Chains A and B, each alone.
Chain A
Amino acid sequence: MAMLEVNGIEVYYGMIQALKGVTFQVDKGEIIALIGANGAGKTTTLHTITGLLTPKKGTVTFEGKDITHTPAHKIVSMGIAHVPEGRRVFADLSVYQNLRMGAYTRKDKNEIEQTLEIIYERFPRLKERKNQRAGTLSGGEQQMLAMGRALMSRPRLIVMDEPSMGLSPIFVNEIFDIIAEISRAGTTVLLVEQNAKKALNIANRAYVLETGKIVLSGDAKDLLNDDAIKKAYLGE
């Protein structure tokens, strides 16, 4: 049984159908990349997994439990954290407050402090800026904060929506290094990216989404060498 099973989900915005039966799965320990052009339905897929949207048809199963209709605010405590598109840090709150917000559903104060130390170790910049307003951080720092905030819930699965978007090349590399590290530390990763090359390089397997449908899937290494992929997504 896969950790996450997305089964034939169809999602609408009013009359517009954004997903036309998307099916894929994520196994424990994997990094899965979900790639696709603008408007393909990547964000919609992630929002459906974490309960911000509900599909008209199809199901989402996590660790054997049907979470299709589980409201978003109950998803975190089940073990899934979501790093949203555009980072969505709480701009008026400090870095520290943002991180604490990530542990909102956790109770044990000592354990939260321990996780905080681990996050600060992984993101030294966040520690240096812990009392700074999140809105004043640079884009790359905000991305780190969004990731750190998600990790504060100690998720078993982390879904990330275009973490490298709008970042300078140095930050992009740093972010991908961090993703690899998160995976090594034992968290399963579902990664949505437009930077297909980087995503395929780091992922075990990948799915390609086009206008609401999965059109291609396979081992990431194979997809890197696929002619159609090269042409459409790798700009070669």
Chain B
Amino acid sequence: MSFLSYLINGISLGSVYAIIALGYTMVYGIAKMLNFAHGDIIMIGAYIVFTCVSTAGMHPALAVLLAVIGCTVLGVLIERVAYRPLRSAASPLAVLITAIGMSYLLQNLALLIFGANTKNFPEIITLPSLSLADGQLNITGTSLLTIGVCVVIMAALMIFIRKTKAGQAMLAVSEDKGAAQLMGINVNGTIALTFAIGSALAAIAGVLLCSAYPSLTPYTGSMPGIRAFVAAVFGGIGSVPGALIGGILLGVIEILGRAYISSQLADAIVFGVLIVVLLVKPTGILGKNIQEKV
């Protein structure tokens, strides 16, 4: 039974990684850049909820809504101010380095505003836990909610991409920005929308993550951000279902690795598996094979 409960914990953690990985993978697929500040948006979202609930005494649902709005605005702003001017820069490294700089900027801003002390994230998910097999298997409400939210987000996103005009525009922009413009698609607007969606999801991921692991510091988003990036690469960067598979696999490997092998070595195991996967299939599990263009 303990294996099963580890597995469920892993899927739950993996769901958070998957939600974060979506932000990486969509931005990469559409804007062709790695937004290394993405993980820190999670942390900002968590601080917004913390401030609203613990300091201002707001209703948690309202706090989460404010975090989603705040992160969306922040993500769009970062893209507009820091990344867009560099989009036509000669070297793609310029925007990558800016993204790393943006990550440090957000961390230091949080340090300045909230200080270095660990904050105790409020308990806002009050779902009862589920007891199975005569109480031998216990699944926390947070785990259940996290997995459920992940499934809903994935389904909604796939429908959005397939069925809406904005989703079709994303597909076109991800393949060929110039041709997309010739179809009448506003490329800058589409990229801004992608950042908005990714950042809104990051806020949700922040709440779920901090509900499961309730200590909040300015560096809270950093490691999950990197792991989610690994998950995105794992699943095939640019692929939405790939982010789901990569995220879940990573979460499960991490938790099982911690439980059965060594908790110190968990990260080494995660990255080891990544290296093996990339050696076997360089584009990730669901990644497209890079085809030669005619």
Residue of A nearest to B165 (CB): A104
B184 & A84 in contact (Cβ 8 Å cutoff): no
Q: Tell me the residues in window 50-79 of chain A with beta carbons closer than 8 Å to chain B beta carbons.
A: 50-52, 71-77
Q: Kindly identify which residue among A82, A97, A135 contacts B291, using a CB–CB cutoff of 8 Å.
A: A135
CA distance A153 to B183 in the complex (A): 8
**Range of interface residues on B (Cβ < 8 Å):** 10 to 19
Is A102 an interface residue when CB atoms closer than 8 A count as contact?
yes
- Which has the most chain A C-beta neighbours within 10 Å: B175, B183, B185, B187? B183
Q: Which of B171, B175, B186 contacts A73 (CB 8 A)?
A: B186
Determine whether B11 belongs to the interface, using a CB cutoff of 8 Å to chain A: no
Query: Within 8 Å CB of B179, what residues of A?
Result: 84, 88-90
Residues in chain B near residue A72, CB distance under 8 A? 178, 181-182
- In this complex, what residue of A is CB-closest to B190? A73
Q: How long is the Cα–Cα vector from A139 to B182 in the complex, in angstroms?
A: 20
Say yes or no for B294: interface residue by CB 8 A criterion. Answer: yes
> Chain A contacts of B169 at CB under 8 A?
104
Would you list which residues of chain B between 160 and 214 have a CB under 8 Å from chain A? 165, 168-169, 171-172, 175-176, 178-179, 181-187
B168 and A50 contacting across the interface, CB-CB below 8 Å = no
Report whether B168 and A52 are in contact in the complex, using a CB–CB cutoff of 8 Å.
no
Contact yes or no, A50 B182, CB < 8 A: yes
Per-residue interface assignment for chain B, residues 275 to 294, with 1 indicating a CB less than 8 Å from any chain A CB and 0 otherwise:
00000000000001001001
8 A Cβ contacts from A73-118 to B: 73-77, 81-82, 84, 88-93, 97, 100-102, 104-105
Measured CB to CB, the closest approach of chain A to B236, in angstroms, equals 13
Closest to A139 in B: B294
**Residues of A with C-beta under 8 A to B288:** 92
A149 to B165, CA, bound (A): 16
Residues of B within 8 A of A101 (CB): 168, 172, 183
Contact status of A76 and B176, CB under 8 A, knowing A90-B171, A101-B168, A104-B168: no
State the main secondary structure of chain B at its contact with A.
helix
Closest chain-B Cβ to A168's Cβ sits at a distance in Å of 13
The number of chain A residues with a CB under 8 A from chain B is: 30
For A166, the closest partner residue in chain B by CB is B294
Contact check, A74 vs B184: say whether CB atoms are below 8 A apart: yes
Q: Which of B165, B178, B184 has the most CB of A within 10 A?
A: B184
How many Å from the CB of B242 to the closest CB on chain A?
14
Contact of B176 among A73, A77, A81, A90 (CB under 8 A): A90
| Contact residues in A for B168 (Cβ distance below 8 Å) | 97, 100-101, 104
Closest Cβ of chain B: how far from A108's Cβ, in Å? 14
Count chain A CB atoms within 10 A of each CB in B169, B185, B288 and give the residue with the most.
Answer: B185
Task: Give A7 Cβ to nearest chain B Cβ, in Å.
Answer: 23
Report chain B residues within 8 Å CB of A71: 181, 186
Query: Given A90-B175, A90-B176, A135-B291: A104 and B181 within 8 A (CB)?
Result: no
On chain B, the residues within 8 Å of A84 by CB distance are 178-179, 182
A172 to chain B, nearest CB (A): 17
- Contact A93 B184, beta carbon cutoff 8 Å: no
B294 contact set on A, CB distance < 8 A: 139
A176 to B20, CA, bound (A): 50
Flag if B184 contacts A88 (CB, 8 Å).
no
Which 8 pairs across A and B sit closest by C-beta, in order of nearness? A105-B184, A76-B184, A72-B181, A88-B179, A104-B183, A90-B175, A73-B186, A82-B182
- Interface residues of A, Cβ cutoff 8 Å to B: 50-52, 71-77, 81-82, 84, 88-93, 97, 100-102, 104-105, 135, 139, 149-150, 153
